[in-house]
Amino acid sequence: MWRYAAWMPLLPDEAPVTLGEGATPLLRADALARAIGVRTVWIKEEGLNPTGSFKARGMSAAVTRARALNVPGMVVPTAGNAGAALAAYGAAAGIPVRVYAPTETPPAILTTIRVFGAELITVSGHIGDAGRAAREFAAQQRWFDVSTLREPYRIEGKTTMGLEIAEQLGWRLPGAIIYPTGGGTGLIGMWKAFHELLAAGWIDSETTLPRMISAQAAGCAPIVRAFHAGEERATPWSDPKTHASGLRVPAALGDRLILRALRESHGDAEAAEEDEIRAGAVDITRHTGVDASPEGGCALAVCRRLVASGRLSRDAEIVLFNTGAGASYRT
């Protein structure tokens, strides 16, 4: 990821806190494209990142700044993968970490958090409940709160996904990007990156930017609901339920930014049921060899829905995000 250091918050001569995150493959998935009846599908395979998810990108950027600022410790509420990533980057930087995670977080992810030496506090409820506990602790201890969009650096790490897609396609952009959305940092970050690439002249000024499409679970779909209701902000989802734990985010702090990116890009938003999400992960895995997470499965399930209803052209060049490794969800 740090080959894009010039785009990143990094001081001259500063070495980043890195574990080899980013530079993930963009895999052409022809058999999968045939199976769902579209021309071109690419999978951005983020499951290969350290600790098995794209959270590594954001945490590498955030922990780099935290170390430069000599923070005494770092704390994060998480649906799982952000905690695992922060635990690993905290270990790399030698900074203590405390993680607040829902009790229902996939067990393998909770184990990863502990294995990297973070202090794990499990919370009954969802990531919003974990967030309240984490903020209280951060304020008392004066530790750095690494919650989604409460600090400015994780999103800068996520912009590199947009830079990579452009570079991997030869400085062109795809027609649509389907992004499994929780807090939405990747979606907001890529949208920012595409504008930076345009401004820098690295992509042709005539380029049509991709349609940004949010995929959520039917049991927790605040962005989908707000998008179709024409609202500027999303109302918090009550009783969020989905096995795609990264999508169990009832209220995103960046809701306005997500909705704005969806609308500016002439994008869309759709939710999939739990069985469609499961089937989506199986489809990706068996047609491509990529170990899809439930969140990746959700992206595919939403792709199928949009194609079936004519909201996404069969001729579009589509990038699906597999945001995490399926292995993290198996017991």
Ligand X SMILES: *Cc1c(COP(=O)(O)O)cnc(C)c1O
One-letter amino acid for residue 47 of the chain: G
Q: Taking the complex as a whole, how short is the minimal distance between the CB of residue 256 and ligand X, in angstroms?
A: 14
Instruction: Return the structure tokens found at 112.
Output: 């990863």
| Pick 46 or 317: Cβ nearer ligand X | 46
| Pick 93 or 258: Cβ nearer ligand X | 258
| Pick 255 or 295: Cβ nearer ligand X | 295
**Minimal CA–CA distance to 168: which of 14, 327, 25, 314?**
25
- Residue 158, CA distances (Å) to 39, 106, 190, 284 in order: 27, 23, 7, 23
| Pick 60 or 181: Cβ nearer ligand X | 181
| Pick 14 or 235: Cβ nearer ligand X | 235
Instruction: Return the structure tokens found at 93.
Output: 């930087």
Q: Residue of minimal CB distance from ligand X? A: 246
Residues binding ligand X (CB under 6 A) = 53, 55, 81, 148, 180-186, 246, 293, 295, 323-324
What is the rounded distance in angstroms from the CA atom of residue 154 to the CA atom of residue 144?
13
Q: Taking the complex as a whole, how short is the minimal distance between the CB of residue 223 and ligand X, in angstroms?
A: 9
| Partners of residue 265 on adjacent β-strands | none
Q: Taking the complex as a whole, how short is the minimal distance between the CB of residue 158 and ligand X, in angstroms?
A: 7
Distance of CA 170 to the CA centre of its chain: 23
What is the rounded distance in angstroms from the CA atom of residue 112 to the CA atom of residue 315?
41
**Minimal CA–CA distance to 58: which of 153, 134, 143?**
153
| Pick 111 or 313: Cβ nearer ligand X | 111
Q: Taking the complex as a whole, how short is the minimal distance between the CB of residue 204 and ligand X, in angstroms?
A: 28
What is the rounded distance in angstroms from the CA atom of residue 200 to the CA atom of residue 137?
41
Q: Taking the complex as a whole, how short is the minimal distance between the CB of residue 80 and ligand X, in angstroms?
A: 6
Q: Taking the complex as a whole, how short is the minimal distance between the CB of residue 279 and ligand X, in angstroms?
A: 17
What is the rounded distance in angstroms from the CA atom of residue 315 to the CA atom of residue 308?
13
**Minimal CA–CA distance to 192: which of 170, 171, 163, 213?**
163
DSSP 8-state assignment for residue 20: S
Instruction: Return the structure tokens found at 249.
Output: 């985010």
Instruction: Return the structure tokens found at 145.
Output: 């709160």
Q: Are 211 and 302 in contact (CB under 8 A)?
A: no
Q: Taking the complex as a whole, how short is the minimal distance between the CB of residue 142 and ligand X, in angstroms?
A: 26
What is the rounded distance in angstroms from the CA atom of residue 132 to the CA atom of residue 145?
11
Q: Taking the complex as a whole, how short is the minimal distance between the CB of residue 70 and ligand X, in angstroms?
A: 27
| Pick 64 or 148: Cβ nearer ligand X | 148
| Pick 47 or 174: Cβ nearer ligand X | 47
